[in-house]
């Protein structure tokens, strides 16, 4: 029930909350693809409830955190060319301009540090209002979490937040 309420709230924020309608472009193959960060966030939200798997890269088998980000962006026409590995976090961080936490927009990729190992170790997609979608862990799957006062994780994500990038605006 909580999951459904969180998804509906985020969908409302994205649909009505006044996220700018500016569409930015990204290069996919040789074609120009026009996509907004809000579109990326909405795509990611469709996978809430899918299971977590260590190296999952598609809805049929479940997702890892990196797999969810890569799959979502690819569906919206942006190939991130990352593999599911520890080094992938660092390489993904270089795929777009850095974004200050105070300037986050839906679709931005969030990076967290020191979650399951030292250094960059988790990613999610910002959906607005301090919330993000990510493949959290085995017992949770793909969920919407909040930086602060999350019903399950408290302030865990705020304490582990490192930075964000905006690959959808850098093509």
Shortest CA distance to 47 belongs to which of 75, 21, 24?
A: 75
**CA separation, residue 122 to residues 91, 101, 165 (Å):** 13, 16, 13
Give the list of residues 6+ apart from residue 93 with CB closer than 8 angstroms, or none.
Answer: 111, 120, 163, 165
Structural domain boundaries, residue 53: 2-169
**CA separation, residue 63 to residues 34, 47, 57, 96 (Å):** 25, 9, 5, 22
Can you tell me the distance from the alpha carbon of 164 to that of 103, in angstroms, rounded to the nearest whole number?
A: 10
Within the chain, which residues score under 50 in pLDDT? Answer: 1-32
**What is the structure's pLDDT at 153?**
95
**What is the structure's pLDDT at 84?**
63
Helical spans, DSSP H, in the chain? 2-16, 37-45, 65-75, 86-93, 156-160
Can you tell me the distance from the alpha carbon of 125 to that of 65, in angstroms, rounded to the nearest whole number?
A: 10
Are 76 and 129 spatial neighbours (Cβ–Cβ below 8 Å)? no
Angle at 83 between CA 54 and CA 89, to 5 degrees: 85
Task: State what percent of residues in the chain have pLDDT above 90.
Answer: 63
Domain count, the chain: 1
**What is the structure's pLDDT at 12?**
41
3-state DSSP assignment of residue 12: helix
The CATH code of the domain that includes 57 is: 3.90.1720.10
């Amino acid at each position: 029930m909580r999951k459904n309420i969180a998804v509906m709230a985020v969908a409302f924020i994205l649909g009505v909350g006044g996220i700018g309608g500016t569409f930015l472009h990204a290069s996919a193959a040789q074609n120009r693809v026009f996509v907004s960060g809000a579109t990326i966030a909405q795509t990611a939200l469709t996978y809430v409830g899918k299971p977590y798997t260590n190296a999952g890269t598609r809805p049929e088998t479940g997702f890892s955190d990196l797999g969810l980000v890569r799959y979502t962006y690819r569906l919206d026409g942006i190939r991130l060319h990352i593999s599911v590995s520890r080094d992938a976090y660092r390489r993904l961080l270089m795929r777009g301009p850095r974004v200050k936490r105070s300037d986050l927009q839906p679709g931005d990729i969030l990076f967290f540090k020191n979650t399951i190992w030292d250094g960059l170790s988790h990613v999610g997609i910002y959906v607005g209002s301090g919330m993000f979608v990510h493949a959290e862990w085995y017992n949770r799957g793909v969920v919407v979490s909040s930086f602060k006062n999350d019903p399950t994780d408290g302030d865990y994500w705020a304490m582990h937040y490192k930075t964000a990038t905006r690959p959808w605006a850098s093509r």
